[in-house]
Structure 1
């Protein structure tokens, strides 16, 4: 939408993890170094944890994109609440291992035969498990059992676990002692600070070949940090929306006024959940009884809020109509220019 207006070769703040846009803060670089160290060691578990949206999946994609060793056969799982048997079935599927039945013993045997065959070819398997906090403890233990597959005292498969902070609680449980003893490194990602937010945004703009100087003034980065709390995913959502707003309003610079206006718009939408606050509390879930002056006043407040939301929605529809009108005008100009060139020829 706004790419041509700001001279981007592509959208710089897409949500999909893209190794080309990877920006390594000190925490991200440390986590990536641990992953690389784990690869070099060829054994044990690496565990990367962090809050939602801090870039765990991006790190995993970056690692997979930059693996130079052709002898590593990698697969990535994005887990749900899998039982141990379901985990094994998914591992077999991701490595394209043919199994003769759904029997656990048969699946384990097929996986072991696959790993031994890789070893004979001078290769080894790497399993990246994303959203690992969703795994029950018995399924995490199944991963440890997979690491028992060895040949000549060398492990045939290595696993990296990436997950939200709940993963630390799972691994810290008393019954997970054997698993903890096989963790050779771990790292915890944190949100970006103000300076990192600035460098993160400028890095992505540069990757998209931005041709606008000082698109974001210096004071804007502090405000963006305050609105997003330095969480990369929230930054992507918010700055993408800022650029769309800037295009619709024909802004050459994203001012603090624009940032505050967009943040205000998004606060009453589902988009991005910038503040992360609860939508409702227990009291708001109770039935409303109109039998007091206080309840009547509550109803008035609710109606005022509904009116504000409707007004915001109408404003957004007006902006979208303006955007469509602008696109049509651009297309008409392009068509007219083509006709002029055809007539000249």
Structure 2
């Protein structure tokens, strides 16, 4: 709806990773540099961690878009709450190897080794990407280490990129995975965007779909986006998509900080904050009377705005139904 109203060529804030929208923030550029450096070593593990929605998967998509497909073959494993043997099977499936049910592990490993040898003979390197590694069992991590031991003509046959949330860091530092840790050649933690980068990120995604300053964004609106999302790209996408929807429903061509703040509050009510644990209200200090009055005023304004939006949606639905009926009668 809003992409049509603002004459955009597409939706700029979809959650699905898309290399067209890759934004080279300082953190994302450094992460790419670590990935490229790690690949140049042609062995071992590369570790990228970051908060949920920080852009780890997008990084791999960007890397894959830059790699020569005649030189690399890549497999991805996303479902990680699996046993070591199941992880091996998922990796094999990712490389296009089917299997008969009940095949023993020794046979699977021989088939895997034959596959990587064939790829080497054709001049290709095998790249395995494992996402959500913080959920892997120690047995599954050990399986990955064992795969890294397979060599072809004295060279490593598989290189692995591990993507995970921050809680993978202490797992990697533990004695239980010391042998795997010794094979990590590059590691980077992807942090949030700064306030300036958040503004650049929003503008970049909008311009990618033909944004010509309609709607115009107030400077304070970008700051409000950063405050509400903490600079996490996926949260930015979710919030900005809803802000543009609100703008289209209200037929406004200016995005204000108030619109962003009200939309962020609405999302918190609908989806939950996701950042505070337990009963946050129990720890809140008393609200001063003047601040309470301001909150009440803001809530009343929000309720009025939502009422206008609801009426606008109903009007659009009625117009659409009327148009469909007229078309059917014709």
Which interval holds the TM-score relative to the shorter structure? 0.7 to 0.9
2:68 corresponds in structure 1 to 68
CA deviations on 1:209-249 (whole Å, 9 max, x unpaired) are 11235621112111111111111111111111000011111
2:125 corresponds in structure 1 to 124
Alpha-carbon contact 1:6-1:211 (below 8 Å) kept: no
Bigger Cα Rg: 1
2:221 corresponds in structure 1 to 220
CA deviations on 1:151-172 (whole Å, 9 max, x unpaired) are 1111111100010011111111
Q: Secondary structure at the match of 1:269?
A: helix
Q: Structure 1 CA distance, aligned partners of 2:82 and 2:306? A: 41
1:304 corresponds in structure 2 to none
Q: Structure 1 CA distance, aligned partners of 2:179 and 2:277? A: 38
Q: Structure 1 CA distance, aligned partners of 2:119 and 2:307? A: 57
Q: Secondary structure at the match of 1:212?
A: coil
RMSD: 2.8
CA deviations on 1:144-191 (whole Å, 9 max, x unpaired) are 110111111111111000100111111111121211111111000111
How far has the Cα of 1:113 moved from its partner?
0.9
1:99 corresponds in structure 2 to 99
Figure out how many residues of one structure are paired with residues of the other and give that number. Answer: 310
1:235 corresponds in structure 2 to 236
| TM-score computed with the length of structure 2 as normaliser | 0.86
2:315 corresponds in structure 1 to 325
Q: Structure 1 CA distance, aligned partners of 2:219 and 2:63? A: 32
Alpha-carbon contact 2:217-2:256 (below 8 Å) kept: yes
Q: Structure 2 CA distance, aligned partners of 1:218 and 1:316? A: 24
Q: Structure 2 CA distance, aligned partners of 1:63 and 1:320? A: 43
1:17 corresponds in structure 2 to 17
1:5 corresponds in structure 2 to 5
- Structure 2 stretches of 5 or more lacking a match? 283-298
How far has the Cα of 1:325 moved from its partner?
2.1
| TM-score computed with the length of structure 1 as normaliser | 0.82
1:43 corresponds in structure 2 to 43
Q: Structure 1 CA distance, aligned partners of 2:258 and 2:98? A: 59
